[in-house]
Amino acid sequence: MKYGRTYNFSAGPATMPEPVLEEIRDEMMNYRGSGMCVMEMSHRSKVFQQIIDEAEADLRELMNIPDNYKVLFIQGGATLQFAMIPMNLMKNGKAVYIETGAWSKKAIAEAKKYGEVIVAASSKDKNYSYIPDCSDLDIPEDTDYVYICENETIHGVTWPKLPNTKGHILVSDQSSMFLSKPCNVADYGMIYGGVQKNIGPAGLAIVIIREDLIREDLDPKTPIYMSYKTHADAGSMYNTPNCWAIYVCGKVFKYLK
């Protein structure tokens, strides 16, 4: 082993590809002649704009993301999305959640603050050890979306087949499976994940959302920062983004390509 590194099977932040770490090391003191580390540079600089643009373009290529989907880089990890999803997508105030483990449970608890949450299927009876049959769910017509955690990191269950949403929008937490297998983005209204399991440093979430789901008519008390429109309109730079994490994610996308 070149660096005497630990085999890290932790469910938290995961191993990064060594060539990526080496590249970052080489660019640490002077990123491509800019005279700065990416940590030090303005997010409004041309150099950083190129970093974020390339990261998005490479992710779009890797996942074959259709043009009518936005890619957003949002701070707050996956956990902030537990609140942003109901705040933005609950138009009728109603959503169906499938309870398959610790992470969908947390998302359910948060969504209940914003509207009616229908838990249409659950595997709680067997300590979240399986994915319930979701081929014929009872989904009210005015349901805004169906929510799943596609890979339950703690309970260790993954969906072999997506649920039948009966034409409703599917929202999926892909935090611990992001980019691990082919994914047909058009099957979803929104895919998101905290990046620290499969892509980069913690604290950043990547949100892939169909454009028509980005609304303006949110509850006026919704914090500006919690609106997807804010991030979409500002190219993920409404405030100072997590430039370092975006830079590292971009490197991993290039490595995967």
Residues noted as catalytic: 103, 173, 197
Please report how close the Cβ of residue 195 comes to ligand PLP at its closest, in angstroms. Answer: 8
Please report how close the Cβ of residue 31 comes to ligand PLP at its closest, in angstroms. Answer: 26
Name the residue type at position 101: G
Please report how close the Cβ of residue 178 comes to ligand PLP at its closest, in angstroms. Answer: 10
How buried is 256 (Cβ within 10 angstroms: 0-12 exposed, 13-18 middle, 19+ buried)? middle
d(CA 199, CA 254): 11
Please report how close the Cβ of residue 207 comes to ligand PLP at its closest, in angstroms. Answer: 12
| # residues near ligand PLP by CB under 6 A | 11
Q: Is 190 in the site for ligand PLP (CB under 6 A)?
A: no
Binding residues for ligand PLP restricted to 145-184, rule: CB under 6 A: 149, 153, 173, 175-176
Please report how close the Cβ of residue 154 comes to ligand PLP at its closest, in angstroms. Answer: 7
Q: Facing residues of 173 across strands? A: 149, 192
Q: Which is nearer to ligand PLP, 31 or 163 (CB)?
A: 163
Give the one residue of 132, 163, 189, 194 binding ligand PLP; rule: CB under 6 A. Answer: 194
d(CA 173, CA 107): 10
The stretch near ligand PLP (CB under 6 A) out of 63-71, 72-80, 130-138, 241-249 is: 72-80
Q: Which is nearer to ligand PLP, 41 or 99 (CB)?
A: 99
Q: Are 189 and 209 in contact (CB under 8 A)?
A: yes
Q: Are 165 and 143 in contact (CB under 8 A)?
A: no
Give the one residue of 23, 47, 77, 244 binding ligand PLP; rule: CB under 6 A. Answer: 77
Nearest to ligand PLP by Cβ — which residue? 77
Give the one residue of 34, 49, 75, 79 binding ligand PLP; rule: CB under 6 A. Answer: 79
Q: Could you tell me which residues come within 8 angstroms of residue 148 by beta carbon, excluding any fewer than 6 positions away?
A: 97, 98, 100, 104, 159, 162, 163, 170, 171, 172, 173
Helix (H) / strand (E) element for 98: namely: strand 94-99
Q: Which is nearer to ligand PLP, 59 or 157 (CB)?
A: 157
Q: Strand 116-122 to strand 151-152: parallel, antiparallel, or no bridges (unpaired)?
A: unpaired
- C-beta neighbour count of 201 within 10 angstroms: 16
Chain positions contacting ligand PLP, by CB under 6 A: 77-79, 103, 149, 153, 173, 175-176, 194, 202
